Amino acid sequence: MKIIKHIGLGIFIIGLLIFTSLIFVGKYELTENTFDSFVKSKGLKSELFINDIQNNVVGKEYSNPFALSSDITSALENANKTYKKEQKWDKVIWDSPHELSYNLMKPSAKGLVVENQGLFFFLTFGLGIIGALMFIIPDVVLLGPAGIKNDGIYHNKSTNRGWIGWITAVYLVTFYIILYFFADYIVNLIYLVNPISKALSGNGASQWFLYGFLYCTVMTVMAVRMFIKYRHNKYQIIRTASVLFFQIGFAFLIPEILVRFNMPYFDFKNAWPLDYDFFFDWNIKSLINSGTLGIFMLVWGTIFSIIIIPIFVYFYGKRWYCSWVCGCGGLAETLGDPYRQLSDKSVKSWKIERYLIHAVLVFAIIMTAVTLYTFFSGVDSFFGIKTYEIQKVYGFLIGSIFAGVIGTGFYPVMGNRVWCRFGCPLAAYMGIVQRFKSRFRITTNGGQCISCGNCSTYCEQGIDVRSYAQKGQNIVRASCVGCGVCSAVCPRGVLKLENGPEEGRIQENPTLLGNDIDLMKMLKDK
């Protein structure tokens, strides 16, 4: 069994190495045809750029994506610089350089990967999946009888913030930066999933399709790990199955299929303000222009965010979304589960968390308000805030850097809920409801706590669960996503996630059970 595990790890690493190295193989050639039709479809008027590309790039064969990308982006920047100086604004190309370069490079790629998409899909995704499963499945036997198996987590260099963890973090951060900002470098990787995208939506793959497919794959494989690790715990099994279902069905398949039928790409379970561009004018317009279904989507998205979400939080706590439905939560609970213990539990980090997450919420609300003001009034700024600028800043800082690069990239060093804990505006919004108006709480069991600290250690949200449990106090915290792991790892059966009556949910003066009744009463009354 151990041998299978090791071979699996080897195969996985080979798959990952091939995946990574594909960036550097293959050839790129921008043909006259491709470029002409691109210029036409875009309606480009930048003669400087067009001439530059035609003279220096078209017809030339490049052996790596970086040189071609650099030629295209510098041509673009040079042309723009001149036009801006001459104030010929209509000739300036406003597209981001790497996005434009991506659009030119995708059809220019040729060679090994493009010609053998199936083979390389197997050598990357295939080997990755097979290797990972070979690494994971032997645990059914190796972990022994079902139960909490956290042995060696703090001895392992990948899960105790050791060097493997840091390498993983650097890899993930790099991957996210390239994915978000330099998609033109990974055209080859996008071709790996091209056939799947075509089969689903009828269109070729984009970097977002690659990301979505990779996301679902990683979640599925790591969900298998969860099913094995928590096979004694029905709450964990059902919850994991649920996030997996919503990710694959709602976030991935349904939107792709909608596109196939010429309907807007729409994720029915996504909610504002996490879905920060839901009220952006391009989205509203596209939905309004998509007939009855589009209108329904617009109405559904609004009702879902503003009415359904808080009502459900009232009944079940925000866990129903964060650890049962949400895609970000889904990745955190599967890929991120091995890192949950790395979240900081200090009071100081709790303070930072409250400032940060509520600041993001305020930011999201202001941005949306400005956006809607512009949408209805037609004025492109509000009290001096340029609508387009604030959207761009939010999208870059929060949407990309915080949620993606930091949120997932830092799993192996800061725990798996960095984004959910410090940044997600939807979590902040639901947290306020959960704290003040909800039936959800984690009940502590009388006087049974032994202050061991397992609950706090394995709280991915960095809640010092023990500090409540050892006082006999219900845990009512805005940030709790109800993953249920504190309850699972408790060796004394102290914690239970419950939806009960609001009365007495928040205890001002808790006492521990077990002592003289009169004394307990006295302590309570104090």
Q: Which residues bind other proteins (CB under 8 A)?
A: 144-148, 150-156, 160, 232-235, 238, 341, 345-347, 443, 445-448, 450-454, 456-457, 466-467, 470, 484, 487-489, 491-493, 496-498, 500-501, 503-504, 512-520, 522-523, 526
CA dihedral of residues 16, 17, 18, 22 (deg, nearest 10): 110
Of the candidates 78, 75, 124, 81, which has an alpha carbon nearest to the alpha carbon of residue 104? 75
Question: How far apart are alpha carbons 484 and 498 in whole angstroms?
Answer: 10
Sign, Cα dihedral of 306, 311, 313, 314: positive
CA distance 233 to 222: 16
Pick the closer one to other proteins by CB: 5 or 110. 5
Least separation in angstroms between residue 481's CB and other proteins is 15
Q: Which two tokens stand for residue 452?
A: 């061991």
In the complex with other proteins, the residue whose CB is nearer, 65 or 484, is: 484
18 vs 452 by CB, closer to other proteins: 452
Cβ closest to other proteins, residue 43 vs residue 504: 504
Q: How many CB atoms lie within 10 A of CB 435?
A: 15
Q: CB 511 → other proteins: shortest distance, Å?
A: 9
Select 77 or 151, whichever has its Cβ closest to other proteins: 151
Q: Closest approach of Cβ 331 to other proteins, in Å? A: 23
Q: Which residue, 318 or 466, is less far from other proteins as judged by CB? A: 466
* Token pair for 194: 């091209």
Tell me the angle at which helices 327-334 and 234-245 cross, rounded to the nearest 10 degrees.
Answer: 130
Angle CA(216)–CA(219)–CA(221) in degrees, nearest 5?
110
Shorter beta-carbon distance to other proteins: residue 416 or 443: 443
- For residue 133, count other CB atoms closer than 10 A to its CB: 17
State how far the alpha carbon of 6 is from the alpha carbons of 119, 137, 338, in Å.
24, 12, 18
Beta bridge partners of 498: 441
Q: Minimal distance in Å, beta carbon 242 to other proteins?
A: 11
Min CB(490)–other proteins separation in Å = 9
Between 37 and 346, name the residue whose CB sits nearer to other proteins. Answer: 346
**Least spacing, CB of residue 524 vs other proteins, in Å:** 10
Q: With DSSP H G I counted as helix, E B as strand and the rest as coil, what are the percentages for the chain, rounded to 5?
A: 65, 5, 30
- DSSP letter at 25? -
What is the closest distance, in whole angstroms, from the C-beta atom of residue 145 to other proteins in the complex?
Answer: 5
Chain-centroid distance, C-alpha 100: 25
Task: Tell how strand 385-386 and strand 381-382 pair up.
Answer: antiparallel
Q: How far is the CB of 495 from other proteins (least distance, A)?
A: 9
Nearer to other proteins (CB atom), residue 106 or residue 477: 477
Q: Cα–Cα–Cα angle for 514, 518, 524, nearest 5°? A: 80
**Closest distance to other proteins from the beta carbon of 360 (Å):** 26
Q: If you ran DSSP here, which 8-state letter would residue 342 be given?
A: G
CB of 430 to other proteins, least distance (A): 19
Place of tokens 């840091």: 166
Q: What is the 3-state secondary structure (H, E, C) of 134-165?
A: HHHCCHHHHCCCCCCCCCCHHHCCCCCCCHHH
| Residue 145 vs 384, nearer CB to other proteins | 145
Residue type, 264: P
